[in-house]
């Protein structure tokens, strides 16, 4: 799927998407004007694809004026890594890849511990190392109940920790990035987007996404009701009697393959995915093992510095 590299002047977006796009571009430009060292946290997923596209359009025809950071757990789907490197080449990104040297195996550690070390801690390490004072993330308020109150600018203390009491009310288009010494901010330009908006935008803008979002026959193991796609049979932590069977599946959100559940689907094109999403009855995070903890797990992870 080729991306439109030059902007043609043709107005394609419906009014509601054009407004979301303009508001996000405004936020991205504010951060570049006010922050000393901004960085974009790139997760390779569909939201990241939209975020990158917004950054590109915010500064076109100039290049995106900040680096892009990927936290690689070494357990991402192979297709994600290929897509990441291809995207970096295509857009001429300044791509930074960071991995926590602990290199934990998700089959050998419990999910919470693994996620904390390989994602949360790794992210803090990379932000500290790069001396980044503002980090763009692709989180949306409609993802999770605990995110409904997230600000566009989330203020973090010196240890990247999040404190609900320190968060600021936000007014109009005014973006306040100031922090006490040593602090930093996370900025979420997609706050007001919904999952539907993301897919509509990808469709309208004809954006490339990782092929895993489209249904295909993939080797699947059903574990505790979750469809695990075996991305690397050699590294799979097989249980007794388990074996993979080919199923038509796709993903609604992407992460580490041992922790990301697929959904049964026949939607093999972007258009079919959008149609299916509109009719969906289960939330996109319903497939993620890491969110299956007690109801407030996301909030707890956020306090510890997870996105």
Interactions with another protein, residue window 139-158 (CB under 8 A): 141-142, 145-149, 155
* Residue 30 in the binding site for another protein (CB under 8 A): yes
| Sign of the dihedral defined by the CA atoms of residues 194, 195, 198, 199, in that order | negative
Q: Judged by CB under 8 A, which stretch of 40-48, 122-130, 176-184, 260-268 contacts another protein?
A: 176-184
Query: Is residue 226 involved in binding another protein (CB under 8 A)?
Result: no
Does 33 help bind another protein (rule: CB under 8 A)? Answer: yes
Residue 12, Cβ density class (10 Å: 0-12 exposed, 13-18 middle, ≥19 buried):
exposed
Q: Is 286 in the site for another protein (CB under 8 A)?
A: yes
Give the contact letters, 254-273, x = binds to another protein (CB under 8 A), - = no. -----------------x--
Find the helix or strand (DSSP H, E) in which 277 lies: helix 270-278
Q: Which of 1, 2, 5, 10 binds another protein (CB under 8 A)?
A: 10
* Token digits of residue 215: 């249904």
* 169, two tokens: 């009310």
Q: Does 234 bind another protein (CB under 8 A)?
A: no
Q: How many residues bind another protein (CB under 8 A)?
A: 71
Please give the C-alpha separations between residue 194 and each of 47, 72, 91, 197, 212, in angstroms, as whole numbers.
Answer: 10, 26, 25, 5, 20
User: Does the protein bind another protein through residue 105 (CB under 8 A)?
Assistant: no
Q: Which of 86, 232, 246, 296 binds another protein (CB under 8 A)?
A: 296
What b/e sequence results for 116-145 when a residue is b if at least 16 CB atoms lie within 10 Å of its CB, and e otherwise? bbbbbbbbbbbbeeeebbbbbbbbbbbbbe
2 binds another protein (CB under 8 A): no
- Rule CB under 8 A: say whether 211 interacts with another protein: no
| Near another protein by CB under 8 A: residue from 21, 47, 121, 133 | 21
Query: Counting contacts by CB under 8 A, is residue 92 touching another protein?
Result: no
* Interface with another protein, residue 133, by CB under 8 A: no
Beta bridge partners, 218, equal 247
Instruction: Identify whether 61 is preceded by a cis peptide bond (ω within 30 of 0).
Output: yes
Residue 57 within binding range of another protein, rule CB under 8 A: yes
Please give the Cα distance from 196 to 279 (Å, whole number): 10
Shortest distance (Å) from residue 294 CB to another protein: 10
- What is the rounded CA–CA span in Å between residue 296 and residue 234? 34
The reply on whether position 16 binds another protein by CB under 8 A is yes
Instruction: Cite the DSSP H helix spans in 172-250.
Output: 195-205
Q: Name which position in 3, 59, 125, 235 contacts another protein (CB under 8 A).
A: 59
């Amino acid at each position: 799927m080729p991306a439109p590299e030059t902007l043609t002047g043709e107005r394609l977006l419906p009014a509601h998407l054009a407004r979301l796009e303009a508001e996000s571009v405004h936020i991205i430009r504010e951060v570049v004007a006010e922050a000393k060292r901004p960085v974009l946290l790139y997760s390779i997923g569909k939201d990241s694809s939209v975020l990158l596209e917004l950054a590109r359009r915010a500064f076109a025809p100039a290049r995106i004026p900040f680096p892009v950071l990927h936290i690689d757990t070494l357990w991402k789907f192979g297709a994600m890594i290929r897509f990441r490197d291809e995207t970096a080449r295509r857009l001429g990104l300044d791509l930074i890849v960071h991995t926590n040297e602990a290199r934990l195996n998700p089959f050998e550690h419990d999910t919470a511990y693994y996620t904390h070390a390989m994602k949360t801690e790794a992210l803090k390490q990379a932000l500290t190392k790069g001396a980044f004072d503002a980090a763009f993330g692709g989180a949306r308020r409609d993802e999770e109940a605990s995110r409904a109150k997230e600000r566009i600018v989330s203020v973090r203390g010196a240890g990247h920790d999040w404190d609900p009491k320190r968060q600021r009310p936000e007014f109009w288009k005014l973006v306040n990035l100031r922090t006490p010494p040593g602090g930093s901010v996370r900025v979420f330009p997609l706050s007001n987007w919904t999952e539907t908006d993301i897919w509509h935008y990808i469709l309208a803008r004809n954006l490339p996404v990782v092929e895993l979002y489209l249904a295909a026959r993939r080797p699947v193991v059903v574990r505790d009701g979750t469809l695990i796609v075996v991305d690397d049979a050699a590294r799979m932590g097989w249980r007794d009697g388990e074996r993979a069977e080919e199923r038509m599946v796709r993903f609604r959100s992407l992460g580490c393959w041992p922790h990301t559940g697929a959904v049964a689907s026949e939607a093999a094109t972007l258009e079919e995915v959008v149609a299916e999403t509109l009719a969906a009855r289960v939330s996109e995070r319903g497939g993620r093992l890491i969110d299956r903890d007690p109801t407030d797990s996301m909030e707890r992870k956020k306090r510890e510095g997870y996105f």
